[in-house]
Amino acid sequence: MDWKRIFLSELDGHFVFEIAFRTVFMFIVVLVILRLSGKRGVRQLSIFELAIILTLGSAAGDAMFYKDVALLATVLVCITAISVYRLITWLMTKSSRFEKLLEGHPVYIIEDSVMVIKEGRKDSLSKDEFFAELREKGVEHLGQVRAAILETEGNLSVFFYADEDVKYGLPILPHAYNKYSDTITEAGLYACIICGTLNRLTPGHHQCKRCQHDEWVSAINTKRVG
Ligand SMILES: [Zn+2]
């Protein structure tokens, strides 16, 4: 291994200062450009916004440590990227078809306390990830949830039943959820652990009529408190 080349390459004392200058300069350029984007924060990014951020980041990053990248060329890349961003966001306000094409559209994940099942669905929020998000919003079981919608920015909107309307549902707190089994030993009301469909089951082995899965857990109907 040529450690000197790996760690230093062409780095010399003079270039160290140039890197520092380039970095500060590009940092300021990116900051100004992001302010010009009109976005107030970037907690959630749509795919389209992420593409713009990656373009900016890549251009700015190269300019920080490649000797032969002209700073003004990079500034030009940033200005072009943000102009395209502003143009496209403007076009999206004019055409909702164009907006759907670029940003996708909101998708129902839960409707009436059960998971919405669609064949070949591309939105890939896994069940674990999704239950974790519901727990963060204080959901204990799906019977509390009237609807959950995956928004285009990737965040989850949750609509609850009023306490008096809470139904039985699939528990999603780990201790309760992990008691699932494919063999029912005691008759009772159970929820399918994949789609949340309720079924009154007798001892034995049962398949969910809705999603064909065969593991169940006792349904609960606790109210939301606070
Ligand atoms: Zn099911």
Tens-place pLDDT, residues 83-135: 998 999 899 899 989 888 888 888 899 999 999 876 555 445 577 888 999 99
Which residues partner with 145 through β-bridges?
Answer: 160
Cα of 117 from ligand 1 centre, angstroms: 9
Q: What's the gap in Å between 207 CA and the centre of ligand 1?
A: 8
For the chain, give the secondary structure using H, E and C.
Answer: CCHHHHHHCCCCHHHHHHHHHHHHHHHHHHHHHHHHCCCCCCCCCCHHHHHHHHHHHHHHHHHHHCCCCCHHHHHHHHHHHHHHHHHHHHHHHHCHHHHHHHHCCCEEEEECCEECCCCCCCCCCCHHHHHHHHHHCCCCEHHHEEEEEECCCCCEEEEECCHHHCCCECECCHHHHCCCECCECCCEEEEECCCCCEEEECCECCCCCCCCCCCEEECECCCCCC
Residue 44 pLDDT: 74
Cα 80 to averaged position of ligand 1 atoms, centre (Å): 49
Give pLDDT, residue 226: 53
pTM: 0.70
> Is 107-218 CATH 3.20.20.140?
no
Q: How far is the CA of 172 from the centre of ligand 1 (A)?
A: 15
Q: How far is the CA of 217 from the centre of ligand 1 (A)?
A: 11
pLDDT of residue 187: 95
Residue 78: per-residue pLDDT: 92
CA of 121 to the centre of ligand 1 (A): 16
Distance 11 CA to ligand 1 centre (A): 60
Q: Report how far ligand 1's centroid is from the alpha carbon of 112 (Å).
A: 14
| Distance (Å) from CA 223 to ligand 1 centroid | 23
Give distance in angstroms: CA of 38 to centre of ligand 1. 44
Q: What is the pLDDT of residue 12?
A: 85
Q: Which two tokens stand for residue 222?
A: 């606790």
Which amino acid, residue 209?
Answer: K
Alpha-carbon distances of 78 from 23, 107, 163, rounded to whole Å: 15, 33, 51
What's the pLDDT score for residue 165? Answer: 94
Please tell me the predicted confidence (pLDDT) of residue 167: 95
CA 210 to centroid of ligand 1, rounded, Å: 5
Pick out the chain residues at pLDDT < 70: 42, 118-125, 226
CA of 62 to the centre of ligand 1 (A): 50
Distance from Cα 194 to the centre of ligand 1, integer Å = 5
Q: Where are the domains of the chain?
A: 3-101, 107-218
